[in-house]
Amino acid sequence: MRKEGRNDDNEAEAGERKLTVDDISPAFPLIYEIVKKVDGMHIQTCNKIWVEVKRENLLDFCKFLKEHGFDHLSCVLGVDMKEYLEVVYHVWSYIDRRMISIKVKLPYDDPVVDSVTSIWKSADWHERETYDMFGIVFRNHPNLKRILLPDDFEGHPLRKDFKVEERGWY
Amino acid sequence: METVLLNLGPQHPSTHGVLRLVVELEGERVVNVEPVIGYLHRGFEKICENRRYIQITPLTDKLDYVASMSNNMAYVKAVEELLDLHPPQRAEFIRVIVLELQRIASHLLALGSIGNDLGMPFTLMMYTFREREKILDLFESLSGARLGYNYITIGGVMHDLPFGFPDHVLAFLKELDEKIEEYEDLIYENEIFIRRTEGVGVLKPNDAINLGATGPVLRGSGVKRDVRKEDPYSVYHMFDWKVVTGDKGDCLSRISVWIKEMKMSSEIVKQAIANLPAGNIREKVSRVIRPPEGETYSRIESPRGELGFHIVGDGSTNPYRLKIRSPAFCNLSVLPHIAKGVLIADLIAILGTLDPVFGEVDR
């Protein structure tokens, strides 16, 4: 039995004021380079960093992360924000024990983004699912087709404008 | 040589549920295999968008239906992160106890069914189900249900432990430790079992990480990674325990990880019961939960691996978007990569050790 006390002092601190880049730079010097490459940044806790990237820069940024030890793509998901679509990539570094969540905004009428399967193979099924549910097209994906829904399904059900057919009461 | 296309499933006892495998065969060798999933897709993520936060917990029971407690915990943890809510210490300890018991129950089921897959039906399954039944009985006394518990809830747990529960658990664990030795004899001393699993379906450590494998599949390849240690949640940081790994990355290593993990879980439960604090079991939360605007991604280590919930809240009573990162889904995507060139009988063994549960794969 170890001594009590959580080791997330930073989390308590975050409640009082917003964390900045300088707060986490001693433990994570790479942050200065990341700041230069991204459009926006939100530091949730010391090891949860949300960044926003333009879709043209996504592949370069992902390659950069992979080179610096972010080797586990935990999850890829889409979000329909009504004005635009959003793809979120959660990338975890097994060495640094840090998560960077990359957000990419896509316009409704042209939801195309580069596939990251060449960097993390685990993106394969995640991207297929996102395509299935949101109709987001991943360029250069090896096998982009529906995964959970039948091939002849019409529409993309997790978009907010998808009408769910309601069953009547009998 | 001409290849033959074989459809395996979707209704076949060896595919662990409604999985269809389109297998390209050259004689008895697998040239290519393509899993076709989605037969159990219930539109879970869409349903959640039309439910209140508190109504979603019982739904999560139906994700990974052999490890419902873990699903409850993963969802509840994500909501608590959104609400910035910290449950009382006693609730956290009870959570750890039930989560680890659930891990044992889930691994027992996996261990039993791998015996079926390898053509030694009933022997292993009969023994492992004997112990699993006792855990289900314990959970029944705790929550009133045997499979879908809805026990871990936002702010704590539903009920306090029933009278005598810790003693029953300790008595069970003492028995389990002896029985695990029995399983080890049944597995490691059985030449047929060894020859069917050793060196079959090797997953190299680097591939395992790159392909997104987590849980026993990753640790079977010798990668010492576990969310409970990496990104500690609940009170796991207070116990003394180790991450167990296999060494070769083959089917046998993955099976050995299950057995070692059961022992380790039993250790954690014993420590948790010895140090169980008194106090409240539930933090006060309002009847209608309305998290502030924001989003979070939180993960736990379920018996199958990294189970994550991404929740986007828009300040209303329903989640705006809820995404489940299910470990079985990601582990199953490894199958086409490691099943090239194996015999079709070995394909079933590999699938068994990946341990998919289709409630969770298809959601």
Mean pLDDT of B70-82: 90
Find the length of chain A: 170
Per-domain residue ranges of chain B = 4-362
pLDDT 10s digits, B95-116: 999 999 999 999 999 888 888 8
> A94–B209: do the CB atoms touch at under 8 Å?
yes
Q: How far is A147 from chain B (nearest CA, A)?
A: 7
Average pLDDT taken over every residue of chain B: 88
Q: Please state the ipTM of this predicted complex.
A: 0.85
Tell me: pLDDT of A1 over 60: no
B46, B231, B337 member nearest A158 (Cβ): B46
pLDDT 10s digits, A53-62: 888 888 888 8
Q: What is the CATH number of domain B4-362?
A: 1.10.645.10
pLDDT 10s digits, B293-352: 888 899 999 998 899 999 998 888 889 989 999 999 988 888 888 888 888 888 888 888
B82 is written with which tokens?
């959104």
Q: For residue B272, which of B87, B85, B89, B72 has the smallest C-alpha distance? A: B89
Tell me: pLDDT of A5 over 80: no
- pLDDT reported for residue B310: 92
Best of A74, A83, A94, A124 to disrupt the B interface by mutation (most B CBs within 10 Å)?
A: A74
pLDDT 10s digits, A88-101: 999 988 888 888 89
Chain B: residue whose CA lies nearest to A118 = B210
**Going along B40-80, which residue ranges are E strands?**
none
Average pLDDT taken over every residue of chain A: 81
CA distance B331 to B233: 22
Place of tokens 């960093």: A49
Given a contact cutoff of 8 angstroms between Cβ atoms, the answer to whether B9 and B15 are in contact is yes
pLDDT 10s digits, A65-114: 888 888 888 889 999 888 889 999 999 888 888 888 999 988 988 889 98
pLDDT band of A47, cuts 50, 70, 90: confident
A75, A94, A157 member nearest B46 (Cβ): A157
The number of helices, as runs of H, and strands, as runs of E, in chain B is 15, 8
pLDDT 10s digits, B243-262: 888 888 888 998 999 999 99
- pLDDT reported for residue A170: 67
CA distance B350 to B251: 6
Find the length of chain B: 363
Tell me: pLDDT of B34 over 70: yes
pLDDT 10s digits, B43-53: 888 888 888 88
> Percent of chain A beyond pLDDT 70?
89
Residues of chain A positioned with their CB less than 8 A from the CB of B38 = 146-150
State the number of CA atoms in the 13 A half-sphere of B255 facing the CB.
30
Tell me: pLDDT of A13 over 70: no
Mean pLDDT of B222-239: 86
Segment among A22-26, B82-86, B127-131, B204-208 with least mean pLDDT: A22-26
- pLDDT reported for residue A16: 56
- pLDDT reported for residue A17: 63
pLDDT band of A9, cuts 50, 70, 90: very low
DSSP annotation of B236 reads: G
Q: Is A26 on the interface with B (CB under 8 A)?
A: no
> B212–A72: do the CB atoms touch at under 8 Å?
yes
- pLDDT reported for residue A96: 82
Per DSSP, helices labelled H in chain A are 9-16, 21-24, 31-37, 58-67, 123-134
Tell me: pLDDT of B277 over 50: yes
B270 is written with which tokens?
């014993």
